[in-house]
């Protein structure tokens, strides 16, 4: 995925903003003075003044009448041209019976519903949506609509937890670039829920291969309990020998946003790993490894909640 700097996504270094000030609808990347070797302890200390919420409760409040919820963690669609960027997703009914499914298209700023749809999917059938065809999506100043999608089976089907599966695909016809992944399981009652507090991933940052890594973050920001003048996440960068080389903070009120790994790691570090923890909340981290937009691999980072720091 090539890095797309969103108009509402402002990367602001600490030197350009007063301490603690992050504009609404922005992402503030702050490089810390010293590497943090124990993110769990640091995160617990930093989050003590923030009210903790149940996992995904805030984000899933918009789907209170659904079960078995799945997440399209980001979408982009050009509302000005039928030949511009778009996002598609597909959801499959894994049962033999017809299921009623509610689909919510949400803003990435406050997760308010832009569009709500209800469809009935026959047994073992696939329902595919090109977001270019969804009416009512709000575009930013550049004509691109951005957000996330939550979908789930409407209440009344409580005897099974694996109703739905699916995937999503981002396509940029101008560059011929596309990337995708499986839908994220955010069902509150499912022990396989993919929202986690801690994440780890490998990264590429140039080097002899010319490869790069781009990260997509989706975070369940507790409404009113985790203001953007406090860190949303903290992370530490390690080289391939396991030496911590740099730590950072992310501050935002966006529910989904993109960052290139190059904004988080030293410029002269061609590859290594990143460990990250959300503070007072949970989320999911996706990544794309690419080489000059010709070869791309979409992956999910590794949940580290059960790994000791």
* DSSP state, residue 183: P
pTM: 0.82
Give the residue-averaged pLDDT of 181-196: 85
* Residues 18 and 100 both lie in one domain: no
* Residues 237 and 160 both lie in one domain: no
* Residues 158 and 101 both lie in one domain: yes
The whole-number pLDDT of residue 141 equals 87
Residue that the structure tokens 């460990």 belong to: 275
Instruction: Write the CATH number for 131.
Output: 2.60.290.11
Split into its structural domains, the chain has a count of: 2
Spatial separation of the C-alpha atoms in residues 10 and 105, rounded to whole Å = 23
12-21, 122-131, 196-205, 300-309 — which is least confidently predicted?
A: 12-21
Give the residue-averaged pLDDT of 43-70: 58
Please classify residue 45 by burial: count the beta carbons closer than 10 Å to its beta carbon, then call 0-12 exposed, 13-18 middle and 19+ buried: exposed
Closest by Cα among 138, 218, 155 to 189: 155
Q: Is the pLDDT assigned to residue 12 strictly greater than 80?
A: no
Full residue range of the structural domain in which residue 35 is found: 14-55+195-303
Q: Per 3-state DSSP, what percentage of the chain is helix, strand, and coil (rounded to 5)? A: 10, 45, 45
Q: Is the pLDDT assigned to residue 273 strictly greater than 90?
A: yes
* Residues 238 and 261 both lie in one domain: yes
Read off the pLDDT band of 18 (50, 70, 90).
very low
Residue 6: inside a domain, yes or no? no
The whole-number pLDDT of residue 54 equals 46
Residue 309: inside a domain, yes or no? no
Residue 190: inside a domain, yes or no? no
* Residues 203 and 179 both lie in one domain: no
Closest by Cα among 29, 24, 127 to 72: 127
Spatial separation of the C-alpha atoms in residues 9 and 259, rounded to whole Å = 9
Q: Which of 154, 185, 216 is the last residue of a domain?
A: 185
Query: By percentage, how much of the chain surpasses pLDDT 70?
Result: 77
Residue 173: inside a domain, yes or no? yes
Q: Is the pLDDT assigned to residue 22 strictly greater than 80?
A: no
Residue 242: inside a domain, yes or no? yes
The chain-wide mean pLDDT, for the chain, equals 81
* Residues 258 and 180 both lie in one domain: no
Q: Is the pLDDT assigned to residue 52 strictly greater than 70?
A: no
| Tens digits of residue pLDDT in 54-66 | 445 556 655 545 5
* Residues 140 and 258 both lie in one domain: no
* Residues 83 and 231 both lie in one domain: no
Spatial separation of the C-alpha atoms in residues 103 and 101, rounded to whole Å = 7
Q: Is the pLDDT assigned to residue 48 strictly greater than 80?
A: no
Read off the pLDDT band of 13 (50, 70, 90).
very low
Could you please report the per-residue DSSP string of 54-68?
-TTHHHHGGGTTEEE
Residue 277: inside a domain, yes or no? yes
* Residues 148 and 296 both lie in one domain: no
For the stretch 229-255, what's the b/e string if a residue is b when 16 or more beta carbons lie within 10 angstroms of its beta carbon?
ebbbbbbbbbbeeeeeebbbbbbbbbb
* Residues 65 and 176 both lie in one domain: yes
Spatial separation of the C-alpha atoms in residues 204 and 210, rounded to whole Å = 8
Query: By percentage, how much of the chain surpasses pLDDT 90?
Result: 46
Q: Is the pLDDT assigned to residue 230 strictly greater than 80?
A: no
Q: Which of 133, 152, 185 is the last residue of a domain?
A: 185
* Residues 290 and 173 both lie in one domain: no
Q: Is the pLDDT assigned to residue 203 strictly greater than 80?
A: yes
194-208, 218-232, 239-253 — which is least confidently predicted?
A: 218-232
Residue 71: inside a domain, yes or no? yes
The whole-number pLDDT of residue 162 equals 66
Q: Which of 185, 204, 225 is the last residue of a domain?
A: 185
Residue 3: inside a domain, yes or no? no
Q: Name which residue leads in pLDDT, 120 or 112.
A: 120
Give the residue-averaged pLDDT of 194-212: 89
* Residues 51 and 200 both lie in one domain: yes
């Amino acid at each position: 995925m090539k890095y797309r700097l969103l108009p509402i996504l402002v990367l602001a270094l600490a030197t350009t903003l007063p301490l603690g000030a992050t504009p609404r609808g922005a992402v503030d990347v702050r490089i810390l003075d010293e590497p943090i070797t124990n993110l769990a302890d640091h995160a617990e200390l930093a989050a003590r003044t923030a009210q903790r919420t149940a996992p995904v409760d805030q984000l899933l409040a918009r789907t209170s009448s659904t079960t078995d919820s799945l997440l399209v963690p980001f979408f982009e669609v050009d509302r000005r041209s039928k030949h511009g960027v778009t996002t598609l997703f597909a959801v499959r009914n894994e049962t033999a019976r017809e299921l009623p499914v509610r689909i919510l298209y949400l803003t990435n700023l406050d997760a308010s519903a832009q569009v709500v749809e209800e469809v009935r999917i026959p047994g073992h059938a696939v329902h595919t949506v090109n977001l270019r065809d969804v009416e009512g999506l709000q575009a930013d100043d550049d004509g691109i609509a951005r957000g996330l999608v939550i979908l789930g089976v409407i209440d009344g089907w409580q005897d099974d937890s694996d109703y739905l599966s699916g995937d999503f695909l981002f396509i940029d016809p101008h560059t011929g670039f596309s990337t995708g992944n499986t839908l994220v399981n955010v069902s509150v009652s499912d022990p396989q829920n993919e929202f986690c507090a801690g994440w780890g991933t490998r990264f590429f940052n140039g080097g002899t291969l010319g490869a790069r890594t781009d990260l997509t973050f989706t975070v369940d920001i507790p409404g009113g309990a985790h203001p953007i003048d406090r860190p949303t996440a903290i992370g530490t960068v390690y080289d391939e020998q396991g030496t911590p080389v740099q730590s950072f903070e992310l501050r935002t009120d966006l529910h989904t946003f993109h960052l290139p790994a190059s904004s988080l790691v030293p410029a002269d570090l061609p590859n290594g790993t990143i460990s990250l923890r959300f503070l007072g909340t949970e989320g999911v981290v996706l990544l794309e490894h690419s080489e000059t937009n010709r070869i791309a691999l979409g992956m999910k980072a590794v949940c580290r909640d059960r790994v000791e720091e």
